[in-house]
Chains A and B, each alone.
Chain A
Amino acid sequence: MATSVTTPKLTTTFYKRLPITVPLSSHFLSLQNTLTPFSHNCCSLLYFQCQRRHVAARAKSDNGAELPSHYDFDLFTVGAGSGGVRASRFAANFGASVAICELPFSTISSETTGGVGGTCVLRGCVPKKLLVYASKFSHEFDESNGFGWKYGTEPQHDWSTLIANKNAELQRLTGIYKNILINAGITLIEGRGKIVDPHTVDVDGKLYSARHILISVGGRPFIPDIPGSEYAIDSDAALDLPSKPEKIAIVGGGYIALEFAGIFSGLTSEVHVFIRQKKVLRGFDEDIRDFVAERMSLRGIEFHTEESPQAILKSTDGSLSVKTNKGTVDGFSHVMFATGRRPNTKNLGLEKVGVKMTKNGAIEVDEYSGTAVPSIWAVGDVTDRINLTPVALMEGGALAKTLFQAEPTKPDYSAVPSAVFSQPPIGQVGLSEEQAIQEYGDIDVFTANFRPLKATLSGLPDRIFMKLVLCAKTNKVLGLHMCGEDAPEIVQGFAVAVKAGLTKADFDATVGVHPTAAEEFVTLRTPTRKIRKSPPSEGMTGPEVKAAAGV
């Protein structure tokens, strides 16, 4: 039967490069039935490739039932956030007909509200960073005093001005995103998309058929169910509060918790952070975890470590108390939970169509972002891989190439840099010291902990911490970490260097930009410590002895 395929060469190539989850036989069997009826105007090469995969899927799921001869769209994307918009735009640029659905705009997300732009633009990166900018000014006022600036009265912050300006900006951005979609020729449908079958999406009762369906519905904050949790807010609400918290409890030690702690502290709220563990930012480099917590404490944020809230109580004056395993802390105007996010996979019809999910509700995907159902794909936070906007963009871009440009492309998750916009902020790329030890055994660590020029003048206790983690054998830079002013901006360029696999010698060969903080990364001369998995025993010979002698 397979011999009836008219383009055998193409098939082989395709098969080699794209992992296909369905059995070979059904894949080819179904093909001959379905080649002719298609009348789409896609470039034939891409078209055939795409066809095979979903055709195979159809054959599998429908068990040989009559196949539709025509789809409304080549791609239907559910969710117009970073990943969905990127995949749709690129797909459209490659010639595919694309539709995308998204919930109506609201700053607070729910089962029925969302907005074009998604978490990043409406409830994440963008509004968060705008609030970070706003909150940083109080530190800048303090700094400026040291540089001779004096204010008639202490600058006061007006919360409503900030929130109004922020929301105006979000409206502008959601409009821009809509225009981007429209200009790319994508059909934008407002409403809640639900998967009906492997090629059909239901948006508020209206059915759309598509050759491929992309799920990019993202994630949403999750508040654990403890007594009084109804009094708590999540990050969505925290970005759009009607008034500034006087005293806020933030529960969680992840990046969102730290970012909001910095925001509210900078806007002069009293901030308490409750973390279950001993340290903040699990998964980050240990030195960075210690350093950032120390710096934030110095700016007046109170950390309650190994202290988990068990209940939130509302007193008669309206203030909130947090009852923990260690006691009760009173007098909060707000309690915010930054205790993780969950993929938005409920009520999407996924179970019914056979899309597999993890126990957290994340869609399981292969390296090409393919789900268990061959015509259904997923990118971004809903897959809970690396939940970052630029990663969702990478996944979306790769998928568009795979599906519509005959270029099967896997997103590459190595050396993905990231930032925490705490105050001071963190930037990092590559492995933490602990990960590097696990993976490489023998590593060299270079660190710098210094007071930047600005701080010597401002008199504020600001410091900067930097760290390079090297493979002892190859001298390759495995990880680069920084906590201090401008860390996210500084790390980006170094991420290119780390991604390119450069060595410490390459860093050393680079001349510094003077006077900057970043130049410290190319002027680290003496290792802080050399870690060797096994101390050299006496019987060692040859290269091992040599390596040890270098210590």
Chain B
Amino acid sequence: MARKMLNDGELSQPNQEEQTHFDFDLFVIGAGSGGVRAARFSANFGAKVGICELPFHPISSEVIGGVGGTCVIRGCVPKKILVYGASFGGELEDARSYGWEVHEKIDFDWKKLLQKKTDEILRLNGIYKRLLSNAGVKLYEGEGKIVGPNEVEVTQLDGTKLSYSAKHILIATGSRAQRAPIPGQELAITSDEALSLEELPKRAVVLGGGYIAVEFASIWRGMGSTVDLLFRKELPLRGFDDEMRAVVARNLEGRGINLHPRTTIKELIKSEEGVKVITDHGEEIVADVVLFATGRAPNTKRLNLKAVGVEVDQTGAVKVDENSRTNVPSIWAVGDVTNRMNLTPVALMEGTCFAKTVFGGQPCKPDYRDVPCAVFCIPPLSVVGLSEEQAIEQGKGDILVFTSSFNPMRNTISGRQEKTVMKLVVDAETEKVLGASMCGPEAPEIMQGIAVALKCGATKAQFDSTVGIHPSSAEEFVTMRSVTRRVAAASSNPKTNL
């Protein structure tokens, strides 16, 4: 063991003797993406690992969760399943121009999809449990709490409490959807419930401009619902490239979603026809479902962090250093609970780095540069690297912007009026590609390979020297010949407030 505990020396814990015996080398609280990854990899490095997780349920709370975490149970996976389900709505429209005679009467059975979604996440929940047991990780069902720098207490379902000592404790409890403090907020739902609704809403109102908001708007619209999307800014998806945000807004509208920019909800009132939404413009919209996609908060309230002295920021996120270590040297944290970059693959990266650093003898830091991500609205958006605005802001030099807006071949026959838009942001001096974005079918799949190139500092010339795959959408990324615009790096550029 000693060989693997490379960090022993650094752990200055005067109260503990060198030969102190711990029940575990590592105890992980929370078996989501980051926690499971860290637990498995640590066990593979030879550590004795325990992990605790709340009992399974699609809708999370202080006392329910489930092995697999947000991604598997209440996030990426069920969301993508519903996006697949919703995408067929558009497919059917397109099929007709391709000669398919689709009967007017098409039914969409929400209950069936929901059941299959639940089956699938249960299956994945089982797979995750097996992954843990196969790695030799001991799983406890119950609520974990930190009672000392090396002491964890697990409250089991029947109320009995277990107490374990561990050389290292990893907090990986993730986050949970929050409701905005608006009168009548109890009438609204969060993304957890939205993924498990009994009935498909005929009329849905979505509050929020983030990726969760646009994804659910697309899901319901694709299934035939009337959808109103309300957001505070001029465009949805703050933080993304402004040009691409405009493209997403146009596409959402093109697919029949009613956009309400610069709008928020003043009040929700229960009425006979449904929930009455009163906007700050005085508008009234009646809906079957009102979704608040107004942010998520780290799950740190009941962990007893204050008592042990683990610092959290004002949002409740656990503060960590570059190695995911908290201010208490034996306590670490990865994933959404640290509110760094809240993506599953990033939590995996953090979990891997933690295991390598602490038990693998390979100290490493997660690298947050050029992390690609995707928004699964319909059609989806995917990006890697810098947005045009970020590149300008960095102000290192002039940038070249290459854009391509085209009608994908499939639309030539289907008649769908929806342009695919791609964009490369290039450093004018070094020719390095700083950022790539795409909004259009298959964007997330296309962006992955582009991300490898970007991560390794590929230049525009290297993109250009790559032969296209014809006919594809992706080939546009290697055939952008003329610069759309050159933007001076001047920091005097007026900031937009979209």
In the complex, whether B483 has a CB less than 8 A from a CB of chain A is no
| Residues of chain B contacted by A161 (CB below 8 angstroms) | 97-99
Supposing A416-B467, A513-B444, A513-B447 touch, asked if A148 and B374 sit within 8 A by C-beta, the answer is: no
Please measure, in the bound complex, the distance between the C-alpha atom of A390 and the C-alpha atom of B467, giving whole angstroms. Answer: 6
Chain B 445-475 per-residue mask, 1 if CB under 8 angstroms from chain A, else 0:
1111111110110100011011111111111
In the bound complex, do residue A518 and residue B449 qualify as a contact, i.e. CB atoms below 8 Å apart? yes
| Residues of chain A contacted by B447 (CB below 8 angstroms) | 493, 513, 518
In the bound complex, do residue A417 and residue B466 qualify as a contact, i.e. CB atoms below 8 Å apart? yes
Chain A 137-174 per-residue mask, 1 if CB under 8 angstroms from chain B, else 0:
10011011011111111011111111001100100100
In the complex, whether B412 has a CB less than 8 A from a CB of chain A is yes
Chain B 419-449 per-residue mask, 1 if CB under 8 angstroms from chain A, else 0:
0000000000000000000000010111111
| Residues of chain A contacted by B471 (CB below 8 angstroms) | 125-126, 129, 389
| Residues of chain B contacted by A213 (CB below 8 angstroms) | none
A419 — nearest CB in chain B belongs to which residue? B469
Supposing A148-B112, A148-B113, A456-B120 touch, asked if A486 and B91 sit within 8 A by C-beta, the answer is: no
Supposing A149-B106, A513-B373, A514-B344 touch, asked if A162 and B80 sit within 8 A by C-beta, the answer is: no
| Residues of chain B contacted by A394 (CB below 8 angstroms) | 467
In the complex, whether B345 has a CB less than 8 A from a CB of chain A is yes
In the bound complex, do residue B477 and residue A513 qualify as a contact, i.e. CB atoms below 8 Å apart? no
| Residues of chain A contacted by B445 (CB below 8 angstroms) | 486, 489-490, 513, 516-518
In the complex, whether A492 has a CB less than 8 A from a CB of chain B is yes
In the bound complex, do residue A512 and residue B448 qualify as a contact, i.e. CB atoms below 8 Å apart? yes
In the complex, whether A506 has a CB less than 8 A from a CB of chain B is yes
In the bound complex, do residue B451 and residue A510 qualify as a contact, i.e. CB atoms below 8 Å apart? yes
In the complex, whether B109 has a CB less than 8 A from a CB of chain A is yes
In the bound complex, do residue B109 and residue A502 qualify as a contact, i.e. CB atoms below 8 Å apart? no
Please measure, in the bound complex, the distance between the C-alpha atom of A412 and the C-alpha atom of B478, giving whole angstroms. Answer: 15
Instruction: Please tell me which stretch of B81-89, B172-180, B396-404 contacts chain A, meaning at least 4 of its Cβ atoms lie within 8 angstroms of it.
Output: B81-89
In the complex, whether A298 has a CB less than 8 A from a CB of chain B is no
In the complex, whether A454 has a CB less than 8 A from a CB of chain B is yes
In the bound complex, do residue B469 and residue A488 qualify as a contact, i.e. CB atoms below 8 Å apart? yes
| Residues of chain B contacted by A509 (CB below 8 angstroms) | 367, 455-456
Please measure, in the bound complex, the distance between the C-alpha atom of A517 and the C-alpha atom of B474, giving whole angstroms. Answer: 15
Please measure, in the bound complex, the distance between the C-alpha atom of A159 and the C-alpha atom of B452, giving whole angstroms. Answer: 42
Which single member of B101, B111, B452, B458 contacts A156 (CB below 8 Å)? B101
In the bound complex, do residue A502 and residue B477 qualify as a contact, i.e. CB atoms below 8 Å apart? no
| Residues of chain B contacted by A65 (CB below 8 angstroms) | none
In the complex, whether A507 has a CB less than 8 A from a CB of chain B is yes
Please measure, in the bound complex, the distance between the C-alpha atom of A517 and the C-alpha atom of B455, giving whole angstroms. Answer: 19
Which single member of A130, A149, A157, A486 contacts B107 (CB below 8 Å)? A149
Scan residues 378-421 of chain A and give those whose CB is less than 8 A from a CB of chain B: 388-391, 393-394, 412, 415-419
Chain B 240-273 per-residue mask, 1 if CB under 8 angstroms from chain A, else 0:
0000000000000000000000000000000000
Which DSSP category, helix, strand, loop or mixed, fits chain A's interface? helix
Interface size, chain B (Cβ < 8 Å): 78
In the bound complex, do residue B453 and residue A496 qualify as a contact, i.e. CB atoms below 8 Å apart? yes
In the bound complex, do residue A492 and residue B469 qualify as a contact, i.e. CB atoms below 8 Å apart? yes
In the bound complex, do residue A492 and residue B456 qualify as a contact, i.e. CB atoms below 8 Å apart? no
State the Cβ distance, B408 to closest chain A Cβ, in Å: 10
| Residues of chain A contacted by B487 (CB below 8 angstroms) | none
In the complex, whether A1 has a CB less than 8 A from a CB of chain B is no
Which single member of B374, B410, B456 contacts A516 (CB below 8 Å)? B374
Which single member of A125, A155, A457, A497 contacts B95 (CB below 8 Å)? A155
Which single member of B98, B110, B466 contacts A495 (CB below 8 Å)? B466
In the bound complex, do residue A513 and residue B88 qualify as a contact, i.e. CB atoms below 8 Å apart? no
Please measure, in the bound complex, the distance between the C-alpha atom of A115 and the C-alpha atom of B111, giving whole angstroms. Answer: 53
Which single member of B120, B372, B468 contacts A511 (CB below 8 Å)? B372
Which single member of B100, B344, B367, B452 contacts A497 (CB below 8 Å)? B452
Please measure, in the bound complex, the distance between the C-alpha atom of A517 and the C-alpha atom of B448, giving whole angstroms. Answer: 9
Supposing A159-B99, A489-B446, A492-B477 touch, asked if A502 and B453 sit within 8 A by C-beta, the answer is: yes
In the bound complex, do residue B101 and residue A510 qualify as a contact, i.e. CB atoms below 8 Å apart? no
Supposing A506-B452, A522-B448 touch, asked if A390 and B469 sit within 8 A by C-beta, the answer is: yes
Which single member of A147, A155, A389, A496 contacts B101 (CB below 8 Å)? A155
Supposing A144-B88, A500-B456, A521-B448 touch, asked if A137 and B98 sit within 8 A by C-beta, the answer is: yes
| Residues of chain B contacted by A166 (CB below 8 angstroms) | 413
B468 — nearest CB in chain A belongs to which residue? A390
| Residues of chain A contacted by B469 (CB below 8 angstroms) | 390, 417-419, 427, 488-489, 491-492, 495
| Residues of chain B contacted by A391 (CB below 8 angstroms) | 467
In the bound complex, do residue B349 and residue A511 qualify as a contact, i.e. CB atoms below 8 Å apart? yes
Which single member of B102, B105, B112, B446 contacts A493 (CB below 8 Å)? B446
B71 — nearest CB in chain A belongs to which residue? A514
| Residues of chain A contacted by B344 (CB below 8 angstroms) | 514-515
In the bound complex, do residue B449 and residue A496 qualify as a contact, i.e. CB atoms below 8 Å apart? yes
Chain B 349-389 per-residue mask, 1 if CB under 8 angstroms from chain A, else 0:
10000000000000000010011111000000010000000
| Residues of chain A contacted by B345 (CB below 8 angstroms) | 511-514, 519
In the complex, whether B343 has a CB less than 8 A from a CB of chain A is yes
A486 — nearest CB in chain B belongs to which residue? B445
Which single member of B81, B110, B367, B478 contacts A453 (CB below 8 Å)? B81
In the complex, whether A222 has a CB less than 8 A from a CB of chain B is no
In the complex, whether B346 has a CB less than 8 A from a CB of chain A is yes
Which DSSP category, helix, strand, loop or mixed, fits chain B's interface? helix
In the complex, whether A108 has a CB less than 8 A from a CB of chain B is no
A491 — nearest CB in chain B belongs to which residue? B469
Please measure, in the bound complex, the distance between the C-alpha atom of A161 and the C-alpha atom of B344, giving whole angstroms. Answer: 45
State the Cβ distance, B342 to closest chain A Cβ, in Å: 12
| Residues of chain A contacted by B346 (CB below 8 angstroms) | 511
In the bound complex, do residue A120 and residue B470 qualify as a contact, i.e. CB atoms below 8 Å apart? yes
State the Cβ distance, B22 to closest chain A Cβ, in Å: 29
State the Cβ distance, B409 to closest chain A Cβ, in Å: 6
Which single member of A120, A146, A157, A497 contacts B99 (CB below 8 Å)? A157
Please measure, in the bound complex, the distance between the C-alpha atom of A490 and the C-alpha atom of B451, giving whole angstroms. Answer: 11
In the bound complex, do residue B85 and residue A148 qualify as a contact, i.e. CB atoms below 8 Å apart? yes
| Residues of chain B contacted by A456 (CB below 8 angstroms) | 120, 123
Supposing A147-B113, A489-B472, A492-B477 touch, asked if A158 and B466 sit within 8 A by C-beta, the answer is: no
Please measure, in the bound complex, the distance between the C-alpha atom of A161 and the C-alpha atom of B415, giving whole angstroms. Answer: 14
In the complex, whether A38 has a CB less than 8 A from a CB of chain B is no
Please measure, in the bound complex, the distance between the C-alpha atom of A521 and the C-alpha atom of B98, giving whole angstroms. Answer: 33
| Residues of chain A contacted by B453 (CB below 8 angstroms) | 493, 496-497, 500, 502
| Residues of chain B contacted by A418 (CB below 8 angstroms) | 469
In the bound complex, do residue B98 and residue A155 qualify as a contact, i.e. CB atoms below 8 Å apart? no
Supposing A390-B470, A453-B77 touch, asked if A134 and B448 sit within 8 A by C-beta, the answer is: no
**Most chain A Cβ neighbours within 10 Å, of B106, B456, B473:** B456
In the bound complex, do residue B452 and residue A169 qualify as a contact, i.e. CB atoms below 8 Å apart? no
In the bound complex, do residue B91 and residue A506 qualify as a contact, i.e. CB atoms below 8 Å apart? no
Please measure, in the bound complex, the distance between the C-alpha atom of A231 and the C-alpha atom of B370, giving whole angstroms. Answer: 57
In the complex, whether B76 has a CB less than 8 A from a CB of chain A is yes
A498 — nearest CB in chain B belongs to which residue? B466
In the bound complex, do residue A148 and residue B109 qualify as a contact, i.e. CB atoms below 8 Å apart? yes
In the complex, whether A133 has a CB less than 8 A from a CB of chain B is yes
In the complex, whether A463 has a CB less than 8 A from a CB of chain B is no
In the complex, whether B104 has a CB less than 8 A from a CB of chain A is yes
In the complex, whether B108 has a CB less than 8 A from a CB of chain A is yes
In the complex, whether B495 has a CB less than 8 A from a CB of chain A is no
| Residues of chain A contacted by B465 (CB below 8 angstroms) | 412, 499
State the Cβ distance, A42 to closest chain B Cβ, in Å: 22
| Residues of chain A contacted by B442 (CB below 8 angstroms) | 486, 489-490
In the bound complex, do residue B84 and residue A457 qualify as a contact, i.e. CB atoms below 8 Å apart? yes
| Residues of chain B contacted by A417 (CB below 8 angstroms) | 466-469
- The contact sample of 29 A-B pairs, CB cut-off 8 A, is A130-B412, A137-B100, A147-B81, A148-B85, A148-B110, A150-B106, A155-B95, A389-B471, A419-B470, A419-B472, A456-B120, A457-B85, A457-B116, A490-B442, A492-B474, A492-B475, A493-B446, A493-B447, A495-B449, A499-B462, A509-B367, A512-B348, A514-B343, A515-B76, A516-B445, A516-B448, A519-B448, A521-B452, A522-B451
A160-B99, A165-B413, A511-B349 known, 16 other contacts, Cβ within 8 Å: A130-B98, A130-B409, A137-B95, A149-B106, A149-B107, A157-B99, A162-B98, A165-B98, A391-B467, A393-B468, A457-B116, A491-B474, A492-B475, A497-B458, A511-B345, A514-B344
